[in-house]
Amino acid sequence: MLSKSHLKLITSLRLGKFRHEEGLFTVEGVKMVNELLYSNFEIKAIFATDEWISAGHLPPKRYTVEIFEISQTELEKISNLSTPNQVLALAFIKPNESLKCFKNEWVLALDQIRDPGNMGTIVRTADWFGFKRIVAAHGTVDLWNPKVVQASMGSVFRIPVHYTDLAEFLAKVCNTARIYGAFMEGDPVSETIFSDSGVMVIGNESHGISPTIAGLVHKKVTIMPATPDFNGRAESLNASLATAILCYEIQKQSKT
Amino acid sequence: MLSKSHLKLITSLRLGKFRHEEGLFTVEGVKMVNELLYSNFEIKAIFATDEWISAGHLPPKRYTVEIFEISQTELEKISNLSTPNQVLALAFIKPNESLKCFKNEWVLALDQIRDPGNMGTIVRTADWFGFKRIVAAHGTVDLWNPKVVQASMGSVFRIPVHYTDLAEFLAKVCNTARIYGAFMEGDPVSETIFSDSGVMVIGNESHGISPTIAGLVHKKVTIMPATPDFNGRAESLNASLATAILCYEIQKQSKT
């Protein structure tokens, strides 16, 4: 059964304010909860239908997690999915660690990505291509937003995202790294030789990289369209596609 | 004013059946309608608020298009957008031409992409990277679905998409072309040397490339994750990201 206090708690977590007050976020569906179960995130409780419970998804190390059996109707009340899928878990948000500069790796930096779908996809992509961490400027959409968590397909459990003052991070903490930025007017990515490690900055969906951050970038790069009239119309590929291409190219060069 | 018959006609076009019976589709918002106005698509009528009409968006060659002034409330009734934006146009669907094989160019082939957002993004990406046409297997989401049109950001007006029997196209019409396909188990894209022209096949979001089509592919390619455990979990990048990376790599190689 779903108690009133659980219903109230879980639905309140749709808002970032309450997620961070409670230190909790939600994870939904069989596949995503499975990713959570095998991650190193602490789980507060699981709310699941009989179907999920009887299938025995729990690995031994999770035997102590509290499980509440709920009905399909109750699941629909707490779910953020258009098609609720057997289970919702409450997990503890990991604290935002202060970030050092890691000299021999590539870091993805996000300058205020706002769309949860884009954010989740970007986290997923960075994880796919072996980036070890992401730095996000204040103003970037919350990582624990249910849509970000779902769109990341579990990558939020694998790759840390540090929210910070991005200008300070680039200027002081990581001031020996080579900093690249995705702009509409830069050198073609396809002709760029990337360094062995560095920071790749991706800007906001509408406004791109903010002026302060732009001033700290050493090399501006652009994913060129095949025909120049695209650029004449002042358009760009969307942020998540651009990130995928940049991460792909950086990973490709790092292997050769 | 919006007549009842117009209201009925426009809202009926949300369904593919009626779009193809009427030969009409809808285009919305200032930016997208602008793309339409400067395209070579025929326009049946425009429904717009006073704000749009008084701003004088019409180029001379469109002076004969019939314009109906409607209220914001009427626009909300016919709009498919969460935030209706001044204008909705009714345009004529271009007939699905029979397709020849073009020997010296790259063609993108879609084997039943189902999600309208993915489809629009893929059309956009192919256009961005200079693909001249797309071939879509029957079962691929309708190009004139309002979500596809909007997600393409106007690329549906620039790049033709031919719906056809894809197996027959690959086996008979385009049987001299080199055919590549995106699979979960193929050679790394980053190590692949693509031919100067050919066909790149992208599969369905859930099931990938269907067995019949797979049998016609000459070279299977994969966008490799940095760490092999991703593949161990039988996962892949989503279809629109994969397409973006493949189109980028093909365009890059064609320039060198």
Interface A-B, measured as beta-carbon pairs within 8 A, has a size of 58
Residue A12 C-alpha, separation from nearest chain B C-alpha, in angstroms: 24
Mean pLDDT of B102-109: 87
How far is B170 from A159, CA to CA, in rounded Å? 41
pLDDT digits (tens, 9 = 90+) for A126-165: 999 999 899 999 999 999 999 999 999 999 999 999 999 9
Mean pLDDT of B69-82: 96
Better-predicted residue by pLDDT, B97 or A211: A211
Residue B190 C-alpha, separation from nearest chain A C-alpha, in angstroms: 6
Q: Would you call A255 and B121 a contact, using CB atoms and an 8 Å cutoff?
A: no
Instruction: Say if residue B200's pLDDT is above 70.
Output: yes
Mean pLDDT of B169-195: 91
Instruction: Say if residue B232's pLDDT is above 60.
Output: no
Domain limit, last residue, from B66, B92, B118: B92
Residue A74 C-alpha, separation from nearest chain B C-alpha, in angstroms: 28
Q: Verify that A42 and A142 share a domain, yes or no.
A: no
Q: Would you call A225 and B125 a contact, using CB atoms and an 8 Å cutoff?
A: no
Mean pLDDT of B162-191: 92
Q: Would you call A225 and B129 a contact, using CB atoms and an 8 Å cutoff?
A: yes
Average confidence score pLDDT of chain A:
93
Instruction: Say if residue B213's pLDDT is above 60.
Output: yes
Using the Cβ of A255 and the Cβ atoms of chain B, whether some distance falls under 8 Å is answered with yes
Query: Among B39, B129, B243, B255, which would you mutate to test the A interface (most chain A Cβ atoms within 10 Å of its Cβ)?
Result: B129
How far is A189 from A215, CA to CA, in rounded Å? 19
Q: What per-residue confidence (pLDDT) applies to B233?
A: 56
Q: Verify that A214 and A138 share a domain, yes or no.
A: yes
Give me the DSSP letters along B68-128.
EE--HHHHHHH--SSS--SEEEEEEPPP-------TTSEEEEEE----HHHHHHHHHHHHH
Q: Verify that A87 and A112 share a domain, yes or no.
A: no
Instruction: Say if residue A232's pLDDT is above 60.
Output: no
Q: What per-residue confidence (pLDDT) applies to A106?
A: 92
Global pTM? Answer: 0.92
Q: Verify that A48 and A129 share a domain, yes or no.
A: no
Using the Cβ of A167 and the Cβ atoms of chain B, whether some distance falls under 8 Å is answered with no
CATH number of domain containing A71: 3.30.1330.30
Q: Verify that B26 and B111 share a domain, yes or no.
A: no
- Give, to the nearest 10 degrees, the angle between helix B239-255 and helix B116-128: 10
Which amino acid makes up residue A7? L
Domain interval for residue B79: 4-92
Surface of B (90-129) touching A: CB under 8 A: 121, 124-125, 128-129
Strand stretches in chain B, DSSP E = 24-28, 43-48, 66-69, 87-92, 106-111, 133-137, 161-164, 179-188, 198-203, 219-222
Q: What per-residue confidence (pLDDT) applies to A104?
A: 83
Residue B22 C-alpha, separation from nearest chain A C-alpha, in angstroms: 31
Instruction: Say if residue A97's pLDDT is above 90.
Output: no
Q: What per-residue confidence (pLDDT) applies to B230?
A: 61
Domain limit, last residue, from B92, B123, B140: B92
**What is the pLDDT confidence band of residue B97, given thresholds at 50, 70 and 90?**
confident
Q: Verify that B52 and B168 share a domain, yes or no.
A: no
Q: Verify that A155 and A240 share a domain, yes or no.
A: yes
- Assigned domain for B101 exists: no
Residues of B whose CB is below 8 A from A226: 128-130, 251
Using the Cβ of A30 and the Cβ atoms of chain B, whether some distance falls under 8 Å is answered with no
Domain limit, last residue, from A34, A58, A92: A92
- Assigned domain for A101 exists: no
CATH number of domain containing A130: 3.40.1280.10
Q: Verify that B145 and B248 share a domain, yes or no.
A: yes
pLDDT digits (tens, 9 = 90+) for A177-195: 899 999 999 999 999 999 9
Residues of B whose CB is below 8 A from A125: 237, 241
Q: Would you call B226 and A130 a contact, using CB atoms and an 8 Å cutoff?
A: yes
Instruction: Say if residue A62's pLDDT is above 80.
Output: yes
Q: What per-residue confidence (pLDDT) applies to B136?
A: 96
Average confidence score pLDDT of chain B:
93
- Assigned domain for B177 exists: yes
Q: What per-residue confidence (pLDDT) applies to A229?
A: 66
Work out how many domains chain B is built from and give that number: 2
- pLDDT above 90 covers a percentage of chain B that reads 86
